[in-house]
Amino acid sequence: ITMLPNGAIVKSVYEGSVIGKAPAGAVLLDCSTIDVATAKETTAAAENAGYAMVDAPVSGGIAAANGGTLTFMVGGDEAGFNIARDLFDIMGQKAVHCGPSGNGQAAKICNNMILGVTMIATCEAFALADKLGLDPEKLYEVSSTSSGQCWSLTTYCPYPDVLEGTPSCNGYKPGFTTAMMLKDLRLAQQAAAVTGAVTPLGAETTAMYAMHVNGGNGALDFSSILKMLRGA
C-alpha cells in the first residue's frame, strides 16, 4: 500500500522498489492522488509483471483516516478490487469500484474540484454576510438547513467559532492543506485540458487557491481561503 505526493514519485517507487521485488501474486494498492495517465501507466507495468494493481485515492482527510471512515475511489479490474476489499473495509467505511485503471483518480479529482468550488462559494457567502452585518451563526443556521447546504458548510464550516471541531475553530490547523487542494485542482485542470472539458469554475477556483498559496498560506487548511476573501 502506498500513498505518495505525486505521480513522478509513484512511478519511481513502483519501477524502482516494488515491481519485480514484491512477492509474486501480490496485490498493489496505490492510494496517492495523482494524474490519470501515470496511474494507468504504473498499473500496466505492474500487470505486465504479473501483479494485480488498483489506484485507490481516498476522501475524508486526517479525521476520517484516524476514525477509519475514509472513502476509497478505486480504479482497476474487478478481480483486484475484490481481493483488496477486505483492506478497504478495515481502513475505511466505503469503497466504490469506479471502473478500469485510472478511474479512481478521475473520481478523486472531480470530487475535489466540487469541494474546492463549494468551499469558495461558502466563504464568499460568509464574507458577504460580514459586509451586510449578518451574524455568521445565523447564516449557518439558515443555510445549513436550506438550499445552500453543502459539505463545506455543514461539516467543515470555514467561519471561525461557528461549528465546533472544524479547522476554522483551531487557527486553520489543517485537516487538508491549501497546498494539497491546489495540487488536486491543478490535476483536474490538466485533465480538463487533455480531454477538452469545459470547467470555468474549476479554473477560477484553481487561480484563487494559487493566489492564496502564493500569499504564504499553503500550510493552512484549505478553508482558510475565507481569510483572503475577507481581506485578512
Active site positions, annotated: 108
Give the distance from CA 167 to its chain's centroid.
Answer: 16
Which three-class secondary structure state does DSSP give residue 31? coil
- From CA 42, how far away is CA 147, in angstroms rounded? 42
DSSP H helices in the chain:
7-13, 36-48, 61-67, 78-91, 103-132, 136-143, 151-154, 178-195, 200-212, 225-229
- From CA 209, how far away is CA 193, in angstroms rounded? 19
Q: What is the DSSP string of 72-138?
A: EEEES-HHHHHHHHHHHHHHEEEEEEEESTTHHHHHHHHHHHHHHHHHHHHHHHHHHHHHHT--HHH
**What end-to-end distance do the CA atoms of the chain give, in Å?**
41
Element (H, E) at 172: none
- From CA 154, how far away is CA 67, in angstroms rounded? 19
